[in-house]
């Protein structure tokens, strides 16, 4: 089940609201856990067992780590933590990457091992990382062990963040698992975040996705259409992912959980380093805390630091998908970060901010074109198309049509990817009666957005039967 | 209004919308059909353990939740309005409007499909029609008259004609492109208007050696209103319905239509079909694999066989004066190799009359 669906919005969510707010507080965790299991099994009826197994593994490992720690058995505690990492990574590796490794093994060694063709369990990349963060934090002593299986299962499977993050650290929600308060203010913030996230996903990301699909479907491509696609996809992935994070944060607020921000207007960044501080923050900090720093971070020799950086970015790319283009995408950013530290940093310091911003956007766009490619060849071909290195016209009627048709959506998306709207609201609020105006407009605005989103979702079923008509 | 009141208002209005729509979805009875889409709607799927496990129940429930959503048509209208008026997009699910005329995009040109269509015509000729008078005509779709001029992508019609002319053998081409204008089509439908087909009839008469007076025959015009074409529902916008006019005379009124699908005799125009799921079915009962029209007042023994799509349903009655019998074959519903079981191909005139939409999607021809 996805948030941006009628089944979630008008069936699942109202039922969960009703039950959650009717039962006594002591039973609310059970309600949320059951709801989360229903939510997951709706998409993955079979793989729910795998998730429960991963939860059980994480829970037991936590207890064992804590037991040895309390007995001052550091070595065994460490072994238990490593065991937890091995189990989690093995699950992820098997279900997500098995066919990738088989394909490459077959290619390199001319072997003929059959593919497993496993369907990747939804959310496995997220919930395994959450479990890992828990066992590592317990090992480090920065989190208390959770002795209540229900609470731990709820932490891992909590439906707002289960499928697409953000990767919630155990420490972020540990206290809320035991007790949490609900307020009108939190609920209203939740409504705002959820509705805006929904609108970002349905009204912008999905519409931009249609433009990307149209680009992929055309037979005669042009330089203009390559750029149109590249910009559209860059905006689509931002609104898709940040919209989902907004919805997750909003849903968390409905039930008294406070998740950390996952995006902070990444497209206004003026360096790649800054971009990654603003993009998928929960993933970036996860790799920083659990991979980069344990490797030694930057307090090592230059050669080792280069190795650390490239390894972290290789893994970051690989985490996003089991294909070479994701690895190249990750390494591309690793390389840019290295270049930035040694060269660009000094170069752009002397130039107006506009140039560094342009450079970031160009690199990010190129990066996402590689990210979205069907393979290495496809990615290279797309970049060459953008740079006009393929034999094709600059533009044609088709490309102009799509530019005209999507111009407003693109413009709205570009504006929406900056803090302009928030700045405007703050400015209005600072004026006389501004607070009142915002307070009056906001409920109407959110309601209109919700109805518009509903209209777009309902129209998704539009499926005219025309076969017999012409 | 202070922030506390606003927070309560935001929260309550959100929950209210969700709860009301949830309850309405539960209470309102399911609909069987969507008139705007001309299809059956998904009903609530029966739950079984295996259907849940294999995901089929979930798929059906997703469809059900969308198909049976309360105020579904109104929400579709809202979406179309937002898309066209706010986002200024030029088409909605491929539907676009120019001066109240509704169009559905048909592009790009599928050259392989055109070649296959030509091969199909040749195949039928080789199998059944050798030595007969065989003609083929192509009906331009509405996009031909407005898309390119208004910046919408459209087929390369020139290339389409080249491909057909290069590949079709032993048949005489009858050009209809120059006989039609946008005004000859319904505003809210893909079809041409029967009451404006005189130039087409005249052109066919010229090229097929029929009586030059055929196009000048007198008919009584019968007007049906309101006509909501296939694109009316798809556009999901508050458009004006239009008139459907059909032409009749004694010959047409007395003609006998035999429907091979239902094995029954019908009339040329079935007025009772007007206002049902597809009003255009008024012409020769709509989609039928094989039917014949017999003219009891015929002056000659000539017969005509038309390989056609639904455009042919409204044209065939206007050719009836010239023939004792017209056979209409829709290859979307009957396989080529079955035709010999029903039709004695001998010395009839033969006309292949297909719209561009069929030629560009010729995989549906059996």
pLDDT digits over B223-281, tens only? 999 999 988 888 888 888 999 999 999 999 999 999 988 889 999 999 888 888 888 88
Is residue B173 included in any domain, yes or no? yes
Q: Is residue B10 part of a domain?
A: no
> Is there a domain that residue B229 lies in?
yes
What is the value of ipTM here, to two decimals? 0.87
- Residues of B within 8 A of A397 (CB-CB) are 148, 151, 153
Residues 425-454 of A with CB under 8 A from B: 435-436, 439-440, 442-443, 446-447, 450-452, 454
pLDDT band at A461 (very low <50, low <70, confident <90, very high): low
Q: Assign A469 a pLDDT band (cuts: 50, 70, 90).
A: very low
The share of chain B scoring above pLDDT 90, in percent, equals 65
Q: How far is B66 from chain A (nearest CA, A)?
A: 6
Residue B49 is assigned to a structural domain of this protein: no
The pLDDT tens digits of the residues spanning A391-412 come to 899 988 899 999 999 999 999 9
pLDDT of residue A468: 37
In terms of residue numbers, what domain contains B305?
102-364
At CA B49, angle to CA B48 and CA B53, rounded to 5? Answer: 115
Give the H or E element holding residue B266. Answer: strand B264-266
pLDDT value at B35 more than 90:
no
Q: Is it the case that residue B1 has pLDDT exceeding 80?
A: no
Q: Tell me the per-residue pLDDT of A68-120, one tens digit each, with 9 for 90 and over.
A: 988 888 899 999 999 999 999 999 999 889 999 999 999 898 888 888 888 88
- Per-residue pLDDT band at A470 (split at 50, 70, 90): very low
CB contact under 8 A, A463 and B37: yes
User: φ, ψ for residue B316 (rounded to 5)?
Assistant: -55, -45
Average per-residue pLDDT for chain B:
91
Residue A404: per-residue pLDDT: 95
Residues of chain B in contact with residue A45, where contact means CB-CB under 8 angstroms, are 52-55, 58
pLDDT digits (tens, 9 = 90+) for A162-191: 887 789 999 899 999 988 999 999 999 999
Residue A15 forms contact with B (CB below 8 Å):
yes
Q: Say if B148 falls within a structural domain.
A: yes
- Interchain proximity B152–A401, CB inside 8 Å: yes
pLDDT at residue A462 in the model: 52
| pLDDT single digits (tens) A212-234 | 999 998 888 999 999 999 999 99
Res. A56: pLDDT tops 60: yes
Q: How many Cβ pairs closer than 8 A exist between chain A and B?
A: 180
> Which residues share a beta bridge with B265?
B258
pLDDT-above-70 percentage for chain B: 100
Written as six digits, the tokens of A354 are 């506009």
Prior bond of B185 cis (ω within 30°): no
Domain ranges of chain A: 6-180, 187-415
Which residue did the predictor score with more confidence, A336 or B36? A336
Model confidence pLDDT, tens digit, residues A444-457: 999 999 999 999 99
Sign of torsion, CA A233 A238 A243 A248? positive
User: Which chain B residues are Cβ-neighbours of A467 within 8 angstroms?
Assistant: 332, 364
Look up A320 and say whether it is catalytic.
yes
In a domain, B87, yes or no: no
Residue B159 domain-assigned (yes or no): yes
Least confident of A16-30, A126-140, B205-219: B205-219
Give exposure, B251-270, as e/b (b: 16+ Cβ within 10 Å).
bbeebebbbbeeeeebbbbb
What is the pLDDT, as a whole number, of residue A251? 96
Cα–Cα distance measured from residue B284 to residue B350, given in angstroms and rounded to the nearest whole number: 19
pLDDT reading at A346 higher than 50: yes
In chain B, how many domains are there?
1
Rounded Cα distance between A358 and A269, Å, is 10
Q: Which residues contact A183 (CB under 8 A, 6 or more apart)?
A: none
């Amino acid at each position: 089940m996805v948030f941006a669906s009628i089944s979630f919005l008008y069936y699942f969510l109202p039922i969960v609201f009703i039950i959650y707010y009717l039962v006594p507080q002591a039973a609310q965790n059970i309600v949320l856990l059951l709801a989360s299991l229903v939510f997951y099994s709706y998409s993955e009826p079979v793989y729910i067992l795998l998730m429960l197994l991963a939860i059980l593994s994480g829970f037991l490992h936590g207890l064992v780590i804590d037991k040895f720690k309390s007995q001052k058995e550091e070595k065994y505690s460490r072994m238990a933590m490593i065991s937890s990492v091995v189990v989690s990574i093995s699950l992820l590796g098997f279900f997500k990457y098995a066919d990738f490794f088989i394909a490459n093994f077959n290619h390199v060694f001319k072997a003929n091992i059959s593919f497993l063709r496993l369907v990747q369990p939804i959310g496995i990349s997220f919930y395994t990382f959450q479990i890992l963060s828990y066992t590592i934090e317990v090992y480090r002593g920065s989190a208390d062990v959770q002795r209540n299986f229900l609470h731990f299962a709820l932490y891992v499977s909590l439906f707002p963040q289960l499928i697409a993050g953000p990767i919630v650290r155990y420490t972020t929600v540990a206290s809320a698992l035991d007790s949490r308060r609900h307020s009108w203010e939190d609920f209203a913030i939740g409504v705002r975040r959820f509705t805006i996230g929904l609108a970002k996903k349905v009204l912008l990301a999905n519409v931009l996705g249609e433009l990307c699909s149209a680009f992929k479907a055309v037979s005669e491509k042009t330089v203009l259409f390559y750029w149109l696609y590249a910009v559209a996809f860059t905006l689509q992935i931002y609104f898709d992912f940040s919209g989902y994070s907004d919805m997750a944060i909003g849903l968390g607020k409905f039930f008294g959980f406070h998740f950390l921000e996952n995006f902070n207007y990444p497209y206004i960044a003026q360096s790649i380093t800054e971009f990654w501080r603003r993009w998928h923050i929960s993933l970036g900090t996860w790799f920083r805390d659990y991979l980069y720093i344990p490797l030694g971070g930057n307090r090592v020799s230059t050669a080792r630091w280069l190795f650390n950086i490239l390894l972290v970015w290789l893994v970051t790319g690989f985490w996003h998908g089991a294909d070479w283009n994701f690895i190249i995408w990750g390494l591309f950013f690793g390389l840019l970060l290295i270049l930035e530290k040694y060269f660009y940093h000094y170069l752009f310091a002397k130039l107006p901010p506009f140039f560094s911003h342009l450079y970031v956007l160009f690199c990010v766009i190129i990066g996402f074109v590689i990210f979205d490619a069907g393979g290495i060849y496809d990615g290279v071909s797309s970049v060459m198309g953008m740079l006009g290195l393929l034999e094709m016209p600059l533009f044609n009627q088709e490309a102009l049509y799509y530019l005209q048709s999507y111009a407003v959506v693109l413009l709205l998306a570009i504006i929406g990817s900056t803090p302009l709207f928030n700045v405007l609201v703050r400015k209005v609020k600072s004026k006389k009666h501004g607070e009142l105006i915002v307070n009056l407009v906001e409920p109407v605005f959110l309601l209109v957005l919700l109805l518009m989103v509903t209209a777009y979702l309902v129209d998704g079923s539009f499926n005219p039967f025309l076969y017999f008509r012409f | 209004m202070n922030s506390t009141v606003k927070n309560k208002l935001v929260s309550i209005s959100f929950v209210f919308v969700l709860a009301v729509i949830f309850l309405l979805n539960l209470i309102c009875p399911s609909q069987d059909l969507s008139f705007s889409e001309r299809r059956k709607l998904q009903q609530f799927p029966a739950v079984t353990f295996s259907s849940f496990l294999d995901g089929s129940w979930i798929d059906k429930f997703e469809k059900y939740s969308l198909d049976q959503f309360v105020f579904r048509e109104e929400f579709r209208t809202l979406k179309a309005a937002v898309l066209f008026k706010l986002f200024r997009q030029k088409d909605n699910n491929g539907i676009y409007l120019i001066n109240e005329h509704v169009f559905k995009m048909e592009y790009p040109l599928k050259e392989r499909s055109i070649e296959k269509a030509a091969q199909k015509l040749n195949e039928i000729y080789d199998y059944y029609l050798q030595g007969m008078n065989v003609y083929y005509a192509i009906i331009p779709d509405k996009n031909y008259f407005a898309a390119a001029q208004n910046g919408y992508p459209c087929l390369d019609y020139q290339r389409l004609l080249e491909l057909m002319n290069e590949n079709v053998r032993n048949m005489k081409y009858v050009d209809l492109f120059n006989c039609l204008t946008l005004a000859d089509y319904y505003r809210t439908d893909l079809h041409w208007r029967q009451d404006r087909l005189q130039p087409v009839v005249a052109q066919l008469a010229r090229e097929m050696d029929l009586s030059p007076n055929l196009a000048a025959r007198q008919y009584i015009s019968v007007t049906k209103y309101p006509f909501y074409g296939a694109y009316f529902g798809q556009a999901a916008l508050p458009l004006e319905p239009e008139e459907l006019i059909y032409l009749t005379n004694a010959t047409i009124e007395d003609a006998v239509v035999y429907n091979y699908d239902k094995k029954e005799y019908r009339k040329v125009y079935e007025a009772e079909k007007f206002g049902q799921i597809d009003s255009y079915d008024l012409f020769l009962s709509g989609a039928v694999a094989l039917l014949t029209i017999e003219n009891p007042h015929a002056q000659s023994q000539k017969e005509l066989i038309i390989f056609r799509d639904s455009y042919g349903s409204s044209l065939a009655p206007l050719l009836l004066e010239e023939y004792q019998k017209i056979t209409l074959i829709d290859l979307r519903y009957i396989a080529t190799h079955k035709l010999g079981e029903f039709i004695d191909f001998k010395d009839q005139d033969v006309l292949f009359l297909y719209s561009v939409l069929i030629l560009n999607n010729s995989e549906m021809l059996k």
